[in-house]
């Protein structure tokens, strides 16, 4: 409230976004939510990242009609988008660009997360895909910790969503990475 009194509206808005993210992440009850709620949490996360990266970050957020009611795993998008910041943009020069799109394709919800970060080498991409296939943490170098974000999302997709729902990753070193999530929706 003091931010609003002192005229720091942007800071106040961003603190509110942080509070909303915290509330969303600790709210007990269900592991599945309407896409509307997941998208709102993503917007809060992006607004916080924009504070950190300012004009160095360009975000494209596009969402098609009739997607809001589709049930998705809770906290599915934020960890995947966070990978762009912690892996894709780390060590690369700005401007950084991330595009997140959600749209209907027949009976499916398709979500694309694409960045212009460092990309992933072919060998590392093979390791990630193999770990995803085996549902195992992604092994890293001695300096890196095991990565579980994408594996966690994949496992929750398989547990919560209809059979045929999936997550795929493609990347080109020096160009960027793209993750495509396909969720078979139930009418």
Task: Domain count for the chain, please give it.
Answer: 1
Nearest to 187 by CA among 76, 74, 66: 66
| The pLDDT value given to residue 24 | 67
* pLDDT tens string 114-153: 999 999 999 999 999 999 999 888 876 544 555 678 999 9
Taking phi over 0 as left and psi of -120 to 50 as alpha, with beta for the rest, 35 belongs to alpha
CATH no. for residue 105?
3.30.565.10
Chain-wide mean pLDDT for the chain? 87
Task: Answer for the pair 22, 35: CB distance below 8 angstroms, yes or no.
Answer: no
DSSP E strands, 23-143: 32-34, 57-63, 71-73, 96-105, 108-115
* pLDDT tens string 26-49: 676 678 999 999 999 999 999 889
The full length of the chain comes to 187
Distance, in Å, from the CA atom of 63 to the CA atom of 110, rounded to the nearest integer, reads 10
Q: What is the pTM of this model?
A: 0.85
Q: Which domain holds residue 180?
A: 2-184
CA distances from 47 to 85, 115, 162, 174 (A): 13, 17, 31, 26
Mean pLDDT in residue range 168-173? 96
| The pLDDT value given to residue 54 | 86
Which of 7-11, 94-98, 122-126, 178-182 bottoms out in mean pLDDT, i.e. has the lowest?
A: 7-11
């Amino acid at each position: 409230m003091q931010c609003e009194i002192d005229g720091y509206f942007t800071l106040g808005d961003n603190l509110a976004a942080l509070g909303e993210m915290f509330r969303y992440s600790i709210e007990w009850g269900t592991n599945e939510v309407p896409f509307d709620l997941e998208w709102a949490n993503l917007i809060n996360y992006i607004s916080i990242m924009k504070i950190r990266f300012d004009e160095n970050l360009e975000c494209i957020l596009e969402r098609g009609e009739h997607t809001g009611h589709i049930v998705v795993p809770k906290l599915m998008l934020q960890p995947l988008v966070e990978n762009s910041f912690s892996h894709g943009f780390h060590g690369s020069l700005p401007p950084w660009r991330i595009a997140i799109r959600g749209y209907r394709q027949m009976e499916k919800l398709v979500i694309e997360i694409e960045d212009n970060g460092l990309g992933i080498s072919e060998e590392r991409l093979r390791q990630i895909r193999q770990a995803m296939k085996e549902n195992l943490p992604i092994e890293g170098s001695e300096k890196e910790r095991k990565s579980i974000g994408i594996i966690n999302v994949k496992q929750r997709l398989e547990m919560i969503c209809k059979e045929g729902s999936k997550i795929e990753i493609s990347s080109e070193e020096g160009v960027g990475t793209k993750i495509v999530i396909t969720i078979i929706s139930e009418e």
